[in-house]
Amino acid sequence: MRKIRQHVNPLSAHFMRTRAQPVARPPGLAPDCPVEVELGCADAEFSFARAAARPNMLMVGLDIREPCLARNRVRAAEEGLANLAFGYVNLNVDIDQVFAPASVDRFHLLFPDPWVKKSHQKRRVIEPALVETLVAQLRPGGELHAASDVFDVALEIMATVEDPALEHLGLANLSGPWGFWRGNPFAEASRREQTTLRREQRVWRMRYVRSDMPAATGS
């Protein structure tokens, strides 16, 4: 089986064109069913488990690597997960094309590429414009859930989301300002999280909700 590249440069010309499309809602789901999205889903172990456990919810996996998405679609069909959809996106270019405003209940950003080399750090995904777009697509009370096993990356996410310049977005940290959430509030875990915990390493997790309404539950 052909190996899929683990990293691609999201700033290359090929990926800087707006190509993302709205995710089509699979038939059989209620128009107002919960919608959750895994950003940069890779092999989507988290999305597969969550969709299987919640057949009345639409679970969406987004990634920049189209071969990865193709494999995920085949697996979803084989497992009969009609409530699981996948789509292409370059998060810093065209995520605004994928969802209507106030239509998503929860975004999961799980273990984004750390791009450790200093010359590559400009490729990191979290930036103020992305946070603004995600908040616009969240329903009132919706959540941005992020996790990393690299402290510097987690701290960078927190610093971006909690920047006073973005205070107008109304995101509230469920652990209090500059606080990390202990443990996994969800029954599912990504492959990277499972590996991290087997190594007895720390997961740095953040949960932010639109504070204009109560937060969704973690279950």
Point out the catalytic residue in the list 43, 113, 163, 212.
113
Task: Convert 82-130 into a string of H (helix), E (strand) and C (coil).
Answer: CCEEEEECCHHHHHHHCCCCCCEEEEEEECCCCCCCHHHHHHCCCCHHH
Other Cβ atoms within 10 Å of 210 Cβ, number: 21
From residue 198, how far is each of 23, 152, 181 by CA, in Å? Answer: 34, 21, 19
User: What is the enclosing helix (H) or strand (E) of 138?
Assistant: strand 138-148
Q: What is the DSSP string of 175-215?
A: T-TT-PBPS-SSS---HHHHHHHHTTPPPEEEEEEETTSPP
Whether 32 sits among the annotated catalytic residues: the reply is no
Q: Structure tokens of 78?
A: 């084989």
Beta bridge partners of residue 204, listed in sequence order: 148
Write out the catalytic residue numbers: 113
